[in-house]
C-alpha cells in the first residue's frame, strides 16, 4: 500500500493561496480526514495529490516516489467524487468494469474483481441495472465499487456523502469504515462535516484558509485543540466562547468574565500563572455544563448561575439556551432536567474541561488532559 507525504506544498491561483505551505504525512493504511469550511483548500489538496492540478511549490510523495511530474493516470490512485459520475447508458457491471477494460485487462480478471467488489458493497443484485434504476445510496456504492476494482495504492474521497440524506449518510459512514478495515488501504477523505471526520478518521487534519491548523486523533482535537478555530469547528454543538481576563498569581488564578467568575484548581493555576493579566477567550463545551441534579460521578464541578431562555428536547438529551449575565451559552444536559424557560437555575461547570486561549493569538495557553478511559484508545488504522 502507500504512505503519502506533502512537503511544503503550495497551490496559488494568482494572488490567492488555495493551499499554503502544507506539510503533512499520511501513514500507510491510515484513514485520514481533511476537514474544514468551504474554501479552506481541502479539495485542492487531494486534487494536487491525484495529479488533477499542478503544484505551485513543494513536493508530493506516494510511497517515497516523487509524483509532482507524474501524470494522474500513472499515480495509482482512485478517486470518488461528490457526484457519482456514472455512465447512464451502461449497467452497473459495465460502469465498474469500464476502467479495467480500458487498461486491456483480461475479461476473467475483470469479472473476478467486479464480483469481489460487489460482494463487499452488497450490490451483487444490482449488477444488471442501469444507474437510473438505483437510489442515491446505491449509486454511491457503485461509484465506490468502480474505485475498488482498480486496487489502487490510495483512495481519495471528495465529499462523497454530501448528496445523501441524513439516515443514509450515517449508514454509509459505517460502511466506509468497515470497507477501510477490509481493504487495509490508505484512505484520504475530504469533508466539511466534522461529524463525518470524528466518526471515521484515524487522524484528522483541520484546514482554514489554505493553512493546516492541527493534525491529530479525534480525541486529540476534541479535548486538546491548538487554537480557537479548531476548538469551535470540532464538536457538535459547537464550543461556547466567552471573553475574559486571567487574574491572580501562583496557585490562585481566576477567570474573570463579568458575571462568570471561575476560580481555577491549583494545578491549572500553576500552568497559567505566567499569563496573569492576559486577555483570554474561555472555551466551554455544551456537554461540560450539567444540571447538578444529574451530575456524572467523574465531574469536579463549579457552580454557575444562569437564566434559561429556551429549552430544546432532543430525546436522549436536552439543550438549554441560557444567559450568564448578558453572555449567551448553550448547555447540553440530562433530559430529565426540570429546568424551564424563564427560570433562574444553577448549572455545574466541569472545571477540568475548561479551555483557555490567548485572546490575541487565539492559541491555547495550556491543554486539558484526555480522560483516562480514552487515553489508551488505539489509533483506528
Q: Residue 379 has what pLDDT?
A: 45
pLDDT, residue 41, reads 95
Report pTM.
0.89
HEC letters along the chain: CCCEEEEEEEEEECCEEEEEEEEEEECCCCEEEEECCCCCCHHHHHHHHHCCCCCCEEEEEECCEECCCCCHHHCCEEEECCCCCCCCCCCHHHHHHHHHHHCCCCHHHHHHHHHHHHHHHCCHHHCCCCHHHCCHHHHHHHHHHHHHCCCCCEEEEECCCCCCCHHHHHHHHHHHHHHHHHHCCEEEEEECCHHHHHHHCCEEEEEECCEEEEEECHHHHHHCCCEHHHHHHCCCCCCEEEEEEEEEECCEEEEEECCEEEECCHHHHHHHHHHCCCEEEEEECHHHEECHHHCCCCCCEEEEEEEEEEEEECCCCEEEEEEECCEEEEEEECCCCCCCCCCEEEEEEEHHHCEEEECCCCEECCCCCCCHHHHCCCCCC
Task: Tell whether 37 is covered by a domain.
Answer: yes
Average pLDDT of the chain to the nearest whole number: 92
Q: Give the per-residue pLDDT at 300.
A: 92
CATH number at residue 269: 2.40.50.140
pLDDT tens per residue across all 381 residues of the chain: 589 999 999 999 999 999 999 999 999 999 999 999 999 999 999 999 999 999 999 999 999 899 999 999 899 998 888 777 889 999 999 999 998 998 889 999 999 999 988 887 888 999 999 999 998 888 888 988 888 888 889 999 998 887 777 887 888 888 888 888 888 899 999 999 999 999 999 999 999 999 999 999 999 999 999 999 999 999 999 999 999 999 998 889 999 998 899 999 999 999 999 999 999 999 999 999 999 999 998 899 999 999 999 999 999 999 999 999 999 999 999 999 999 999 999 999 999 999 999 999 999 999 998 887 776 544 444
Query: In this structure, are 305 and 200 located in the same domain?
Result: no
Do 201 and 336 belong to one domain? no
> Residues 151-167: pLDDT tens digits?
889 999 998 887 777 88
CATH of the domain at 68: 3.40.50.300
pLDDT at 1: 55
109 and 174 in a single domain? The answer is yes
**204 and 248 inside one domain:** no
Domain that holds residue 178: 4-231
**Same structural domain for residues 145 and 257?**
no
Q: 196 with 285, same domain?
A: no
Of 188, 216, 231, which one is at a domain's C-terminal end?
Answer: 231
pLDDT digit string, tens, across residues 62-120? 998 999 999 998 999 988 887 778 899 999 999 999 989 988 899 999 999 999 888 87
pLDDT at 121: 81
Amino acid at each position: 500500500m502507500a504512505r503519502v507525504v506533502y512537503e511544503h506544498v503550495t497551490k496559488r491561483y494568482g494572488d490567492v493561496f488555495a493551499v499554503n505551505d502544507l506539510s503533512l504525512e499520511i501513514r500507510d493504511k491510515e484513514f485520514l480526514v481533511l476537514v474544514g469550511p468551504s474554501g479552506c483548500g481541502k479539495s485542492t489538496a487531494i486534487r494536487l495529490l491525484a495529479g488533477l492540478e499542478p503544484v505551485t511549490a513543494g513536493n508530493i510523495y506516494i510511497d517515497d516516489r516523487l509524483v509532482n511530474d507524474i501524470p494522474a493516470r500513472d499515480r495509482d490512485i482512485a478517486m470518488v467524487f461528490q457526484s457519482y459520475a456514472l455512465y447512464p447508458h451502461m449497467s452497473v457491471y459495465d460502469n465498474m468494469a469500464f476502467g479495467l477494460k480500458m487498461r486491456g485487462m483480461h475479461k476473467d480478471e475483470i469479472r473476478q474483481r467486479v464480483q469481489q467488489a460487489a460482494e463487499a458493497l452488497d450490490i451483487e443484485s444490482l449488477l444488471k441495472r442501469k444507474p437510473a434504476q438505483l437510489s442515491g445510496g446505491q449509486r454511491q456504492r457503485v461509484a465506490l465499487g468502480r474505485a475498488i476494482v482498480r486496487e489502487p495504492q490510495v483512495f481519495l474521497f471528495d465529499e462523497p456523502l454530501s448528496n445523501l440524506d441524513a439516515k443514509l449518510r450515517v449508514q454509509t459512514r459505517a460502511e466506509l469504515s468497515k470497507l477501510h478495515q477490509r481493504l487495509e488501504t490508505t484512505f484520504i477523505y475530504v469533508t466539511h462535516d466534522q461529524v463525518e471526520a470524528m466518526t471515521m478518521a484515524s487522524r484528522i487534519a483541520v484546514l482554514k484558509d489554505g493553512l493546516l491548523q492541527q493534525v491529530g486523533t479525534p480525541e486529540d482535537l476534541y479535548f486538546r485543540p491548538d487554537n480557537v478555530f479548531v476548538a469551535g469547528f470540532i464538536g457538535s454543538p459547537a464550543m461556547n466562547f466567552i471573553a475574559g481576563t486571567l487574574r491572580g498569581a501562583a496557585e490562585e488564578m481566576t477567570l474573570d468574565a463579568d458575571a462568570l467568575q471561575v476560580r481555577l484548581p491549583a494545578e491549572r493555576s500553576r500552568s497559567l500563572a505566567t499569563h496573569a493579566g492576559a486577555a483570554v477567550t474561555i472555551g466551554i463545551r455544551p456537554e461540560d455544563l450539567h444540571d447538578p441534579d444529574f451530575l456524572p460521578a467523574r465531574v469536579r464541578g463549579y457552580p454557575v448561575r444562569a437564566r434559561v431562555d429556551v429549552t430544546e428536547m432532543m430525546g436522549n438529551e436536552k439543550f438549554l439556551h441560557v444567559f450568564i449575565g448578558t453572555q449567551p451559552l448553550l448547555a447540553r444536559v440530562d433530559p430529565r432536567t426540570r429546568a424551564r424557560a424563564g427560570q433562574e437555575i444553577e448549572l455545574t461547570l466541569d472545571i477540568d474541561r475548561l479551555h483557555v486561549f490567548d485572546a490575541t493569538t487565539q492559541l491555547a495557553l495550556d491543554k486539558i488532559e484526555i480522560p483516562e478511559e480514552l487515553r489508551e484508545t488505539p489509533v483506528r488504522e
